[in-house]
Amino acid sequence: MEKIKTHRELRVYQVAFSTAMNIYDISLKFPREEIYSLTDQIRRSSRSVSANISEAFRRRKYPKSFSNKLNESEAEAAETQNWLDFALACNYISKEKHTQLDQEYEKIIGMLVNMQRYSDKWSM
């Protein structure tokens, strides 16, 4: 297996980034009155998932810091799921779109948990 040189090569980063862009696209249709609340919150938390993965990758020579950043990313993914629940409850997204995005975040969370569990594989 070839050594990963940048966070952009990580599958979890790619999925998190793509899913955040998907959320950005759907949030463009949220009502104007949500711009400083739900729209802002869901965009920030979804973007933070991949941002924390990027930071974690650069901190992998410090195992505790690496694990902490992955944990922050996992928490941001769960927060995004919360905002998706609100978007569904307010009828801003369909049940199908909610299910699809929620499953993507479950996959991301699973990958992050595995990275933390086997953090020695990622150390420099």
Residue 114: give the domain boundaries. Answer: 7-121
Q: Report the CATH number at residue 47.
A: 1.20.1440.60
Residue 79 lies in a domain: yes
Residue 2 lies in a domain: no
Residue 113 lies in a domain: yes
Q: What is the mean pLDDT of each run of 10 residues along the chain (124 residues)?
A: 83 98 97 94 98 96 92 98 98 98 98 91 74
Domain count, the chain: 1
Residue 1 lies in a domain: no
Q: How many angstroms separate the Cα of 76 from the Cα of each of 33, 61, 121?
A: 24, 23, 23
How high is the pLDDT of residue 124? 64
Residue 77 lies in a domain: yes
Contact between 33 and 53 under an 8 Å Cβ cutoff? The reply is: no
- Single pTM value for the model: 0.93
